[in-house]
Amino acid sequence: MANLMRVLGTEAVQDPTKVEAHVRAQMAKRQRQHEEANAARKLTTEQRRDKKIGKLKEDTSQGVNVSVYRIRDLSDPAIKFKVEKNASQLYMTGLTIIYKDCNLVVVEGGPKQQRKFRRLMMHRIKWAESRTRNKDK
């Protein structure tokens, strides 16, 4: 506002109230135009969902990354659910082989999907707590 008051110099000195009202009206107009432009660019709910899925489903035409995780104990249903649910949410394909002492989780997907799933398997799931819960039962 001070900038426009300086630009309008003599008019601002002669009728400061009128100039201030004019400046405020221009500011409000610019703000309104800005908000209308943002609203026009805003994605619909379906477009946002598609964009998010598109980011997860990466281009696998050049090759698919496959990861194999060996797990000693996958008998805890909560952990089994977490592994399966995260794989489906990340749009990964694969399988789980469950055997007594050696369980395998094989997943395939793009690099971003693999990175997120690796983080789940290595850091987010507390494997030690799972073993203590199973021993208590």
* 35 lies in the same domain as 71: no
Q: Provide block-wise average pLDDT over 10 residues at a time, the chain (137 residues).
A: 69 77 91 96 93 79 87 90 94 92 93 92 87 67
DSSP-based helix, strand, coil % in the chain, nearest 5 = 65, 15, 25
What is the reported pLDDT for 112?
Answer: 87
Domain that holds residue 85: 60-136
What is the reported pLDDT for 22?
Answer: 84
Q: Is 47 among the domain residues?
A: no
Compute the CA torsion angle 114, 126, 78, 135 (nearest 10 deg).
140
What is the reported pLDDT for 57?
Answer: 80
* 65 lies in the same domain as 37: no
Number of domains in the chain: 2
Q: The whole model's pTM is what?
A: 0.67
What is the reported pLDDT for 68?
Answer: 97
Q: Is 75 among the domain residues?
A: yes
Q: Is 123 among the domain residues?
A: yes
CA 30 to CA 32: how far, in whole Å?
5
